[in-house]
Amino acid sequence: MLNPLLLLLSGVLTAQAPTQPPSYVQEHYTKQEVQIPMRDGVKLFTSIYVPKDTAQSYPVMMQRTPYSVAPYGPEAFRRGLGPSKRFMEEGFIFVFQDVRGRMMSEGTFLEVTPHRAVKGPRDVDESTDTFDTVEWLVKHFPTNGKVGLWGISYPGFYVAAGMIDAHPALVAVSPQAPVTDIFAGDDDHHNGALFLSQAFGFQTFFGWPRPEPTTVWPPKEHQLDLGPDDGYRFFLRHGSPAELDATFFKGEVRSWTDLVEHDTYDDYWKSRNLRPHLRDIKPAVLTVGGFFDDEDPFGPLQVDRALARQSPGKDRHLVMGPWFHGGWAAPQYRRLGHVDFGSEVSQYYQDTIEFPFFMHHLKGAPDPRLPRAMIFETGVNHWQRYEAWPPKEATPLTLFLQEQGVLGLGTAAPAPGSEAFVSDPARPVPYTQRAELDVSREYVVEDQRFAARRPDVAVFQTEPLTAELRLAGPIEVHLRVSTTGTDSDWIVKLIDVYPDNLPDLEVAAADGKGPAEHVKLGAMQQLLRGEVMRGKFRNSLERPEPFTPGQPTAVDFTLNDVSHTYKTGHRLMVQVQCSWFPLVDRNPQTFVQIGHAQPSDYQKATQKIHWGGLDGSRLVVGVLK
């Protein structure tokens, strides 16, 4: 079977190698492979593609990656160069570098390398490695003195880290879905809860130690056969994260061990939070993310907000589109699952945003005059230009949870009441109705009727809307809950419920080969946003606290941003549940170290949602006219 990571990173790998006949690169570029020395003496393996046309000098477009700069060998050429085909055809010096400790580079690899705020002359991090690489390039190649840096996901982290204390020649950067704070909201954790299936799938490929430089990873002895299970059965059968380690990793994958052992926001995680270091950033910044990114919509939003606070007045732009992870780099993209976005949104981004941005800063092309935020509004499928994000003109609207499954829109607070259900860790609520081991990127827009039918999911919805409702910005969640246990997860999902009378839809298979999928759009409950709060972290990610059984308690957190229009006739729905498996690891519902939970720790609990008064359970969303 395919390794889970191959699917997890499909958007990233596509982005790194745009489709183009290999002969184009060979005909127009020469290739060199060099070892670039860093200030501490470690050498980083770097592939460099230089245009054969020497009539002009060229700027550099660089990517630093923990995955691979493959293919290796001076006569082996990549299929494509740059963020999109237009860059390759325009002509740049393209540089691809294995970061330290990965693939063919020397040194020791650190997961999400901590940034050193104060450095001695030989102290290194990703900022200094980027600086030293740029310094070497402008001294050894006939560039025009300007360098651009881009990357998606983990390579996006190296962009965000590399723009700190940047070399003067590094004038334009684009962190795309950058890993930013992996305990608070990126990839591995969300509000302290482990995103189990994604993290495990990633580490089965990525996490094995690399004792010496290599061009092949992982070695055959570490390519795991996980069997034919679907994800729900597989992770339920293998128990806690520590049991998965004992069965598959046997203590050899340090990054998985760290996930299990560092179960609070301790110094390990704090040192990997990049946000405090994004100060006085000099290069122009184009931050890019996807509203339907199944891995990391948190990173780009948080990078942009940190820049707004700590590098005000700088040349920065945010782009958020309707993409899955890395989808903006795909040559074609107008649909995710059953949701059609009305046009080729990735091509639009590549041609009118990304390419003009780098051309202006690296080659002196006309200023594309990008707004501070270029945001795609789903539902009506329009690009919107904003001078701030979240938009300053958005006004708050309260969604009150109340009796008989009603979701009240900005009305007076409802009378006191509650709804209770039993949450059983032995039968957790699935995050998808698909029987797959790998995480399907379509789950972020999946029909939620399968969850609404379960007795352990509380459902609240409005009447059909009589006018369009435009939501913009983050979604505040204010729950008032109680539990008979001492810990509990709380998952809140915001959903767009379609009218009953919509015709069915035939959706082509994602691979273009399988049979079309027959989708019943009538009364569909399309997921827009979902997020988890591990209850013991409700007041602090650093200092977990148990619940007092039966005591109503405030649980507040934030769902990632939305830009969506609910059309006339649609309904707003909110679903509240206490498991989301195996996307999120099971909470035993007892106050224990979850990574090492024993079978006896997993206990049923009666969960209760309380409403009424101004401090009852509610959501607050931003609304545009």
Q: What is the DSSP string of 176-204?
A: ES----TTTTSTTEETTEE-HHHHHHHHH
Nearest alpha-carbon partner for 421 in 407, 409, 408, 405: 405
Under 8 Å between Cβ of 372 and 318: yes
Q: Is 609 helix (H, G, I), strand (E, B) or coil?
A: strand
Under 8 Å between Cβ of 319 and 353: yes
**H or E element at residue 299:** helix 298-310
Helix H, strand E, coil C: the string for 314-355 is CCEEEEEECCCCCHHHCCCCCEECCEECCCCHHHHHHHHHHH
Q: What beta strand segments (E) does 344-416 contain?
A: 373-377, 382-386, 395-402, 406-409
Rounded to whole angstroms, the Cα distance separating 476 from 372 reads 23
Q: Which CATH number fits domain 395-624: 3.30.429.10, 1.20.1290.10, 3.40.190.10, 2.60.120.260?
A: 2.60.120.260
pTM beyond 0.85: the answer is: yes
Q: Angle at the Cα of 471 (from 467 to 475), degrees rounded to 5?
A: 135
Q: What is the pLDDT of residue 18?
A: 45
In the chain the first and final C-alpha atoms are separated, in Å, by 50
Rounded to whole angstroms, the Cα distance separating 123 from 39 reads 8
- Positive or negative: CA dihedral 412, 418, 421, 422: positive
Rounded to whole angstroms, the Cα distance separating 12 from 329 reads 8
Nearest alpha-carbon partner for 163 in 176, 155, 174: 174
CATH 2.60.120.260 domain span(s) along the chain? 395-624
Under 8 Å between Cβ of 291 and 297: yes
Under 8 Å between Cβ of 43 and 35: yes
Rounded to whole angstroms, the Cα distance separating 400 from 619 reads 7
Rounded to whole angstroms, the Cα distance separating 91 from 332 reads 22
Concatenating the DSSP letter of every residue in 562-605 gives EEEEEPTT-EEEEEEES--BTTSPPP-SSSS-GGG--GGG---E
Q: What is the pLDDT of residue 511?
A: 57
Q: Is 399 helix (H, G, I), strand (E, B) or coil?
A: strand
Rounded to whole angstroms, the Cα distance separating 296 from 298 reads 5
Rounded to whole angstroms, the Cα distance separating 393 from 49 reads 46
Rounded to whole angstroms, the Cα distance separating 235 from 278 reads 37
Ranges of the chain with pLDDT below 50:
1-20
Q: What is the pLDDT of residue 12?
A: 37
Rounded to whole angstroms, the Cα distance separating 449 from 338 reads 15
Chain centre distance of CA 508: 26
Nearest alpha-carbon partner for 286 in 199, 196, 355: 355
Q: What is the pLDDT of residue 321?
A: 98
Rounded to whole angstroms, the Cα distance separating 303 from 312 reads 13
Nearest alpha-carbon partner for 258 in 277, 242, 235: 242
Q: Write the burial class of residue 186 (CB in 10 Å: 0-12 exposed, 13-18 middle, 19+ buried).
A: buried
Tokens of 42: 């470690």
Q: What is the pLDDT of residues 475-525, one digit of tens each?
A: 999 999 999 999 999 999 999 999 999 988 888 765 566 677 788 899 999
In the CATH scheme, what is the homologous superfamily, with its name and number, of domain 4-18+29-180+274-386? Alpha/Beta hydrolase fold, catalytic domain (3.40.50.1820)
* Structure-token match 């301790």, residue found: 266
Beta strands 58-65; 193-194: pairing state: unpaired
CATH 3.40.50.1820 domain span(s) along the chain? 4-18+29-180+274-386
Q: What is the pLDDT of residue 14?
A: 35
What one-character DSSP code corresponds to residue 445? G
- Positive or negative: CA dihedral 209, 214, 220, 226: positive
Beta strands 284-290; 170-176: pairing state: parallel
Under 8 Å between Cβ of 59 and 92: yes
Rounded to whole angstroms, the Cα distance separating 465 from 3 reads 44
Under 8 Å between Cβ of 448 and 527: yes
